[in-house]
Amino acid sequence: MTYSACPQCQSDFTYHDGSQLVCPECAHEWQEHESANQEENPIVKDANGTPLADGDTVVLIKDLKVKGSSMVIKQGTKVKGIRLQDGDHDIGCKIDGTPMNLKSEFVKKA
């Protein structure tokens, strides 16, 4: 029987030990159902720890400089219809018609 790869070091040499899975390379231990849920549906939370979902409306909690531009997006800007995505900037959206990527740590759910 093959088990899921280690979520910490991605090793394929995991084994089942009682009620949990164990990685012999990095000694990480986890529940089998935890790794499946994290891979399929990563939970994105706002600055207050509230889970976010596609289509939510969020508000910026600080001024953000736009990389490669002199533009600044002001604190309090409301962003409607967000999309959750993988990566460091885990929110995709449009602000004034311009596609942007935001970090969830700089927004709160409206």
In-domain check, residue 82: yes
Structural domain including 95 reads 57-109
Asked, for residue 92, whether it belongs to a domain, the answer is yes
Name beta bridge partners: 60.
107
Average pLDDT score over the chain = 87
CATH number of the structural domain spanning residue 19: 2.20.25.10
pLDDT of residue 80: 96
Per the rule left: phi > 0, alpha: psi between -120 and 50, beta: everything else, 81 is left
Asked whether the whole model's pTM tops 0.85, one would answer no
* 65 occurs within a structural domain: yes
Same domain, 28 and 66: no
What band does 43 get if pLDDT is binned at 50, 70 and 90?
Answer: confident
Does 49 map to a domain? no
What is the number of structural domains in the chain? 2
Q: Is residue 41 part of a domain?
A: no
d(CA 80, CA 30): 36
The confidence score (pLDDT) of residue 3 equals 79
- Beta bridge partner(s), residue 55: none
Question: Which pLDDT value is given to residue 63?
Answer: 96
18 within a domain of the structure (yes/no): yes
Q: Are residues 61 and 104 in the same domain?
A: yes
Indicate whether 81 belongs to any domain.
Answer: yes
What confidence tier does 41 reach under pLDDT thresholds 50, 70, 90?
low
Burial zone of 56 (CB within 10 Å; 0-12 exposed, 13-18 middle, 19+ buried): buried
Report the distance separating Cα 107 and Cα 27, nearest Å: 35
pLDDT in tens, 55-88: 999 999 999 999 888 999 999 999 999 999 988 8
Whether 105 is in a domain gets the answer yes
